[in-house]
Structure 1
Amino acid sequence: MNDALTLQGFLGRLNIRQMLAPLLIILILSMMVLPLPPFVLDVFFTFNIAISVMVLLVAMYTMKPLDFSIFPTVLLVTTLLRLSLNVASTRIVLLQGHTGPDAAGKVIEAFGHFLVGGNYAVGIVVFIILTLINFIVITKGAGRIAEVTARFTLDAMPGKQMAIDADLNAGLIGEDEARKRRATVAQEADFYGSMDGASKFVRGDAVAGILILFINIIGGLIIGVIQHDMSAGDAARTYTLLTIGDGLVAQIPALIISTAAGLVVTRVATGQDIGQQLVAQLFGNPMILAITAAILGILGLVPGMPNFVFLMLGSMLGFLAWKMMRKSAVSEQAAEAAAAEQLPAAVPESVEASWADVAPVDVLGLEVGYRLIPLVDRGQDGELLKRIRGLRKKFAQEIGFLSAPVHIRDNLELRPNAYRLTLKGVAIGDGEAYPGMYLAINPGRVSGQLAGTPTQDPAFGLPAVWIEAGLREQAHVFGYTVVDASTVVATHLNHIILSHAAELLGRQETQALLDHIATELPKLVEDLVPKQLPLSTLQRVLQNLLEEGVNIRDMRTIIETLAEHAPRNQDPLVLTSLVRIALGRAIVQQLYPGSNEMQVMALEPGLERILGQALQGGGEDASGIEPGLADTLMRETATASQRQEDLGLPAVLLVPGNVRWLLSRFLRRVVPQLKVIANAEVPDSKTIKVTTIIGATK
C-alpha cells in the first residue's frame, strides 16, 4: 500500500514537459547504436521533415529574434537528429541494400527514385548542388551575420545599459521596466553569440553529409561485389540510389533549417512578421509595380521572347498597381471630405468681454512646434504623454509633493521642431527635437565621431549629435548615450522641474500636502496649522528646504520639529535651520550614500569669524562682506569644488550654523552644485575628513 502511494506521488511530481527534452536526446543518441527497422526509419525521417518545416514557419512568424530564443538549441538538436538518422540509415543500406530499393524504407526509396528519376548520376549532382547551396551560400552567410551581430551587440551593451540607467534616473521608466530592459539586452548578446556558435554545427553537418555520401557509395560497392556477388554496375546503381535517397532526405531538411537560421539573424524587428514586412515594403509602392509591369510588357513584345509569360505577369502587376492607386485616391478624397466637415463654423459677431476671457497662467507649460505634435497627441497615443505622467509620479515619490500638471499646447510661432518650457507663463527652457531621429550624447569618453547634426543636450549642455536611426547601434559602440526625441524633451522637463521645485510648491500644493498628511497624522497637523504656525510660514520653510535640494518626504519629522519650536520662534530661516538639523541624517545620506566618512571642504577659522560679523551687520544677504573678500571667497570655493568633483567627491562645504544660510545663498550663484551644511547637521556616527580649507594662507 505504502509502495503504491510512494510510486503514485513520484509519478505525480513528474512533469511531462520537463522529461520530454532529455528523452528526445537519449532517443537520438540511441539511434546511432541500435538497429532500427525500415518503418521506424520512415517515421523518424518524416518527423525530421516536419520539424524543419515547423522551425521555418516559426522563424517567419516571429516579430523579433528573441521571440525564438531557443533557436540555437533547436539547431543543435536537429543537426544531431539528422546525423543519427544518417548513421541508422547507413547501417540498413549497407546490411540490406542488396535486397531491393526499399531496403531502407519507403521515404529513402521515394527520394532516390522519384525525385531524381532513378538516375544515380543525376542524384549525385542534385545532392552536391543542394549541399553546396546550404554550405557555401546560406549557412556561411547566416554564420557571418550572426558573428558580426554578436560582436556589435556585445560592444553596444555598455551604451545600452547607460541609456537604460539614464531613462531610470530621469523617471521615464520604473525599476521593473529597467530590470526587464537590462535582461533583454543581456539576452540579445547571449542569443547572437549562441547563433554564431550554432551555425558551425550546420556547416559541419553539410561537410559530414558529403563525406557520408562517398563513404556509403564506396562501402556499398565493396559489400555488393565482394559479399553479395553483385556485378559492379548493379552494385553501383543499387547502393548509389539508396545513398542518394538517404542524403537527400537528410539534406533537404538541413537546407530548410539553414534558411530559417538566415531569416532569424537577417531580419530587423519592426513589430511585423516577415510576410507583413515583405508585402508592405516590396509591394507597397504602386509606382514601382507600374514601372515593373511596363518593363515586362516591353520585353514581352520582343520577338523570340516567351511573350505570353512576360505579358501575363506584366498585366497582373499593372492591374495590381492600378488597384492600389485607385484605393489611395479614394482614401485621400475621404480624408479631405472628413476635414471639410470638421471646419469651424463662421465666427459670430464679437461680444462684450467678460471674466471668462481672463485665462489663468499655467504653472508648468510645454509648447511644441507642429512637427512635435504627434509626440503629445492623445489620439496617436503620444509617447511623450506617457513619459510626462511617469515624471510627475517619480517627482512625487522622490521630492515629497505632487507638482502641478504640465499643460501642453502647440505654438505655430515656434520652429517646426522646437519646444519651449514655461514656468508661470515665463520661458525657462527651450530646445529642438526630431521625431524619428536619435540624440547621441557625448558623456566625455567616446571613441569615435558620428555623422549628424551637432548640437547640445538641452538639459545639461553636453555636446551631442542628432543622428539617423541606422546609426544608433554604432553610437552605442562608440560610447554615446543615445535617446529618442521624446526622451530628450522629457529629460529636459524633468531637469527643469527638479531645479524649480521650490517655485512649484505654492499655497495650494502646501495645503494639499497637509491634507494628505492629515489622513495619517490628523492630530499633529491640527495642532501645528493654523494654531501654532501660519500656512504661509510652513510653505516658506518647505521652499527653503527645496531650494537647497532637500526633499520633504519626511513630513512627520518636519511637522514635529516645527511643532516643538514654533511657539518660541516664527522666523522661517530659524525654523528651516532647526528642521535641517532634524533631517541631518537624511541630508548627509543623500550626499554620501553608503559611506561613514565625509570628505568635505571647510573655512579657515579667521574667515569664519569675519563672516559671522558680516552676518550680524548685513542681515540675511552678503552686503556686509567686503568686496575683495567676497571675490576671493567665490574664486577659492569654485576651485575647491571643481577639485572635489574631479576626485569623484560631492562638493560639500562644512560651516558653522550661524553662517550656513548666508554662504549657501551667496555661493550658489557661482557654484550651483555646491552643498553647504552646518556642523550640527552631521550625525555623530559620521567621520569628517577635511580635504580643503578655504581662506587658508598660501
Structure 2
Amino acid sequence: MNSFLALLKNDGAQHARLLAGPVLILMVLGMMILPLPPVILDLLFTFNISLSVIILLVAMFTKKPLDFAAFPAVLLFATLLRLALNVASTRVVLLHGHKGPDAAGQVIEAFGHFLVGGNFAVGIIVFVILVIINFVVITKGAGRIAEVGARFTLDAMPGKQMAIDADLNAGLIGEDDARKRRVEVAQEAEFYGSMDGASKFVRGDAVAGLLIMVINVIGGLIVGVAQHGLSFSDAGRVYTLLTIGDGLVAQIPALVISTAAGVVVSRVATEQDVGQQMVSQLFANPAVMFITAGILTLMGLIPNMPHFAFLLLAAILAGAGWVVYKRQQEEKAALADEPMKNQAAVEAAAAEASWSDVALVDPLGLEVGYRLISLVDHAQNGELLHRIRSLRKKFAQDMGFLPPVVHIRDNLELKPTEYRILLSGVEVGRGAATPDQWLAIDPGEVAMKLPGKVTTDPAFGLPAVWIDVSLREQAQIAGYTVVDAGTVIATHLNHLMHRYGANLLGRQEVQQLLDHIGKESPKLVEDLVPKVVSLSLLQKLLRGLLDEEVPIRDARTIIETLVEHAPRLAALNPNGTGPDPAELLSLVRVALGRAIVQQWFPGEGDLRVIGLDPRLERVLAQALTSSGVLEPGLAETVLQDAQRAVQTQEENGDAPVLVVPPVLRASLSRFLRHHLPQLGVLSNYEIPDERMLRVTTVIGGTQA
C-alpha cells in the first residue's frame, strides 16, 4: 500500500511538472483576453515579483551556467507574463480608473502613491531612470556578454572536443565520461546561443514598458476627459498615477530579472557561487582592507565631512583585515609545522633499528613536490588519484594485464611544482606542473602566441606554455590542446607505463594472469606450465611482446601457439635446454599478426609501409648472421636512412612501420627501437594474407 501511494505521489509530481508550461501559457493568454478583477491582479503582480526574486537568487547560487540551463526559456516566459500583466492592468486602469486610486488593485495603488509620494512628476522621473538603468546599462551589457560568450564558446568547441578525445585515448576517462563531457560541451554552446537571443527579449521588454506608459497616459487623458467628464488636470493626475504605479510594478521585476541575466552570463565558472567568489576575492587580501581603512580615516578627519560614517566604516574594514591577516598567519604556521612533525616522527622511529626499517622498492612510484600534494591527497579529494585508478584500468584493458599499484609519496627534496616517476626505485621520468594553471600544448599549427611560462610537454616533448585559467578558452580557440596539472602528470605516467610495460610484468603478474585465464580455460593452463614452458620462460616471452608495445590481451592465442610449437622446438635443440625463446617469440608474433597490424593500420585499407633496398637487405642479412652486430659505418647509414624514412611517412600521414624478412626483424627492432621509439618493425610473415602491402619509402635506396 505504501509503495502504491509513493508511486502515485511520484506520478502526480511528474504530471504537475509536465503541466507547468501549458498552464503558464493559458494564464498569459487569459490575462490578455479576459478582464481580471483587481484582487486577481494583486495576486498576479505579487507572483511576478516573487518569481523575479527567485530567478535572481537561483542565478546567484549557480556555480556554472549549465546549472541553470533553463534560464533562457524562463526569461522568455517571465517576459510574456509581465507583458500580459501590463495588458490586463491597462484594461482595468482605462475602464475603472475614474473610480479612484484603488480601481486597479492595491499593489498598483501602493506603487503609485506610497513609493513616489503620490507625485506623478516624481513617479515619471523614477520610472524613466529605472528604464534607463535596465535598458542602457544592465540589458545592453548582458546582451553584449552573451553575444561574445556564444561566439567564443562555438569557436572553442573543436578544441574542447580534441581535449576530450585526448583524455579518452590516454585512458584518463572512460566512454561514459567522454560522452557526458561531449554532451556538456554541446549544451554549453546551445545555452550561450539561447542567451544571446533571449537578451533581445529583455531589451524589447524595456522598450515596451516605456511605450506602454506613454500610451496609457495619453489613453487615460482621452478616456477621462471624453468619456467620464473629468477635467484635464484631474484626468491627468488620476490616470498618470495609476499608469506610473502599473509601470513601476512591472519595471522593478524586469530590472531584477535583467540583473539575473547579467549574473548568469558574466560570471566565471568555478566551484564557488557568485556570492562566495565576491567575498573570497574582494576580502582575501588584508593589505587592501588596511589601505582602504586608512583612506576612509583621512577622509573622515576632513572638516564638514560626516565623521561618524567614515570612521565607523574604516574601523569595520580594519577589524576585518586584522581577522583575515591572523587567519592567514595561522595557516602558514600550520604548514611550517608539518615538516617538523615529520622530522620528529623520523627521529623517534630511528631510535631502534628493526626489519620494519627495511623498505622494499616499489615497482611503480610517483613522488611530488609539496605544491602538488593537493592533487594526491585523499582528504582534499585529489583528482589525480581518480585519474590514476582510471589509467590503471584502461592500461589493463589495452595491454592485457593489471599493472602494479602506483605508490605516491611527497618528496621535500623536489621543487614545489616538480614530480618524478620511479620504476623499481629508479627515476624514468621527471616534470613540473602548476596546480593553479593550465598547460597549453602546441600541436604544430597554432594561430597565436600566449603569455606564460614556456616549457615542453613532459610526455611527448611538444612545445607548450603554462597559462592562467582566464586564458583557457582563448588558447583552445587558437588551436592549443589545453590540459590541467593533474592531466599532465597522468598523461606522462600513462606514456611511461606503456613504454616500460615489460618491466611492470613480474612473475607475480604472470602467475595472476595464468590464474585469471585458468578460471575459464583450466585445461589450457595445465598443459602450458610447467609441462611445455617454465614460468620464467613464459615471462620472458610476454616481456618480449611488451617491449614493442604489443598487447598480450589475446592470451589464448599466445598459449595455444606455445603449446603447439614449444615441444617441437625443444626437440630440435640438441643441448636439451628447451625451446629457443627467440624462435618462440617470432612464432607468437606471427600468430598475433592480425592484431599487431590492426594496431598500426586500423581499418581495411592498403598498408603503406617502409621497406629495405634489396642490396641493403642482403648486406644486413650477411652481417647479422655472421657476426650478429652491424659495423659502425653501416649502422650509422641505416639509422640516418631510417630517420629520413620515418619523417617522410609522418609527413605523408602514414604509419612509421618497417617491414623486413623474419631473419632480420628481431635484430633490426632492437637496434632501431632505442633511437626511433616511434618506429614499428614487422616481418613479412606477420602481415595477414588479405591485407595489401604497398612500400612507399625505401631505406638504402630511392622511393618506390
Structure 2: how far apart are the matches of 1:458 and 1:589?
Answer: 28
Structure 2: how far apart are the matches of 1:50 and 1:161?
Answer: 40
Greater mean deviation of Cα atoms: 338-347 or 635-644: 338-347
When residues 617 and 144 of structure 1 are mapped into structure 2, their CA distance, relative to the original with a 3 A threshold, is same
**Partner of 1:399 in structure 2?**
399
Structure 1: how far apart are the matches of 2:115 and 2:319?
Answer: 37
After superposition, where does 1:224-623 map in structure 2 within 5 Å? 224-321=224-321, 344=344, 347=347, 358-569=358-569, 570-618=579-627, 621-623=628-630
Superposition RMSD in Å: 2.9
Q: Which amino acid aligns with 1:84?
A: A
Q: Is the 1:146–1:192 Cα contact (8 Å) retained in structure 2?
A: yes
Offset, 1:343: 6.5
**Partner of 1:686 in structure 2?**
691
Q: TM-score, normalised by structure 1?
A: 0.91
After superposition, where does 1:170-181 map in structure 2 within 5 Å? 170-181=170-181
When residues 109 and 351 of structure 1 are mapped into structure 2, their CA distance, relative to the original with a 3 A threshold, is closer
Offset, 1:143: 1.3
* Count of residue pairs brought into register by the alignment: 685
Is residue 151 of structure 1 aligned with residue 160 of structure 2?
no
After superposition, where does 1:18-57 map in structure 2 within 5 Å? 18-57=18-57
CA deviations over 1:459-508 (Å, ceiling 9, x no partner): 11111112222222221221111122222222112111111111222223
Structure 2: how far apart are the matches of 1:480 and 1:473?
Answer: 10
Offset, 1:327: 6.3
| Structure 1 stretches lacking a partner, 5+ long | 1-7
Is residue 677 of structure 1 aligned with residue 686 of structure 2?
no
Structure 1: how far apart are the matches of 2:335 and 2:700?
Answer: 73
Greater mean deviation of Cα atoms: 284-293 or 380-389: 284-293
Greater mean deviation of Cα atoms: 460-469 or 365-374: 365-374
Q: Is the 2:648–2:697 Cα contact (8 Å) retained in structure 1?
A: no
When residues 13 and 425 of structure 1 are mapped into structure 2, their CA distance, relative to the original with a 3 A threshold, is closer
CA deviations over 1:121-163 (Å, ceiling 9, x no partner): 1111111011111111111111112222222222222222222
Is residue 135 of structure 1 aligned with residue 140 of structure 2?
no
**Partner of 1:3 in structure 2?**
none
2:658 counterpart (640, 653, 660): 653
What is the DSSP-based 3-state SS (H/G/I as helix, E as strand, rest coil) of the residue aligned with 1:230?
coil
Structure 2: how far apart are the matches of 1:345 and 1:46?
Answer: 66
What is the DSSP-based 3-state SS (H/G/I as helix, E as strand, rest coil) of the residue aligned with 1:509?
helix
When residues 365 and 228 of structure 1 are mapped into structure 2, their CA distance, relative to the original with a 3 A threshold, is same
CA deviations over 1:268-318 (Å, ceiling 9, x no partner): 233222333333333445554444444444444433223333344444444
CA deviations over 1:567-597 (Å, ceiling 9, x no partner): 1111111111111121122112111212232
**Partner of 2:166 in structure 1?**
166
Structure 1: how far apart are the matches of 2:505 and 2:493?
Answer: 17
When residues 367 and 336 of structure 1 are mapped into structure 2, their CA distance, relative to the original with a 3 A threshold, is closer
**Partner of 2:673 in structure 1?**
668
CA deviations over 1:69-112 (Å, ceiling 9, x no partner): 11111111111111111122222222222232222222222211
Q: Is the 1:161–1:182 Cα contact (8 Å) retained in structure 2?
A: yes
CA deviations over 1:625-649 (Å, ceiling 9, x no partner): x665544443333322222211211
What is the DSSP-based 3-state SS (H/G/I as helix, E as strand, rest coil) of the residue aligned with 1:422?
strand
**Partner of 1:115 in structure 2?**
115
Structure 1: how far apart are the matches of 2:685 and 2:277?
Answer: 66
When residues 639 and 320 of structure 1 are mapped into structure 2, their CA distance, relative to the original with a 3 A threshold, is closer
Q: Which amino acid aligns with 2:143?
A: G
Q: Is the 2:642–2:699 Cα contact (8 Å) retained in structure 1?
A: yes
Q: Is the 1:598–1:687 Cα contact (8 Å) retained in structure 2?
A: yes
Structure 2: how far apart are the matches of 1:257 and 1:318?
Answer: 35
Q: Which amino acid aligns with 1:600?
A: V
Offset, 1:206: 0.5
Q: Which amino acid aligns with 2:450?
A: L
Identity value in percent = 64
When residues 44 and 697 of structure 1 are mapped into structure 2, their CA distance, relative to the original with a 3 A threshold, is closer
Q: Which amino acid aligns with 1:116?
A: V
Offset, 1:449: 0.5
What is the DSSP-based 3-state SS (H/G/I as helix, E as strand, rest coil) of the residue aligned with 2:483?
strand
Q: Is the 2:658–2:679 Cα contact (8 Å) retained in structure 1?
A: yes
Structure 1: how far apart are the matches of 2:533 and 2:333?
Answer: 67
**Partner of 1:638 in structure 2?**
643
Structure 2: how far apart are the matches of 1:406 and 1:389?
Answer: 9
| Structure 2 stretches lacking a partner, 5+ long | 1-7, 570-578
When residues 217 and 48 of structure 1 are mapped into structure 2, their CA distance, relative to the original with a 3 A threshold, is same
Q: Which amino acid aligns with 1:650?
A: A
Q: TM-score, normalised by structure 2?
A: 0.90
What is the DSSP-based 3-state SS (H/G/I as helix, E as strand, rest coil) of the residue aligned with 2:567?
coil
After superposition, where does 1:69-84 map in structure 2 within 5 Å? 69-84=69-84
Offset, 1:429: 1.9
What is the DSSP-based 3-state SS (H/G/I as helix, E as strand, rest coil) of the residue aligned with 1:420?
strand
What is the DSSP-based 3-state SS (H/G/I as helix, E as strand, rest coil) of the residue aligned with 1:454?
strand
Greater mean deviation of Cα atoms: 414-423 or 76-85: 414-423
Q: Which amino acid aligns with 2:651?
A: D
Structure 2: how far apart are the matches of 1:93 and 1:110?
Answer: 14
Structure 2: how far apart are the matches of 1:666 and 1:313?
Answer: 76
When residues 163 and 12 of structure 1 are mapped into structure 2, their CA distance, relative to the original with a 3 A threshold, is closer
When residues 250 and 427 of structure 1 are mapped into structure 2, their CA distance, relative to the original with a 3 A threshold, is same
Q: Is the 2:594–2:687 Cα contact (8 Å) retained in structure 1?
A: yes
Q: Which amino acid aligns with 1:522?
A: P
Structure 1: how far apart are the matches of 2:337 and 2:471?
Answer: 40
**Partner of 1:200 in structure 2?**
200
Greater mean deviation of Cα atoms: 392-401 or 334-343: 334-343
Offset, 1:447: 0.5
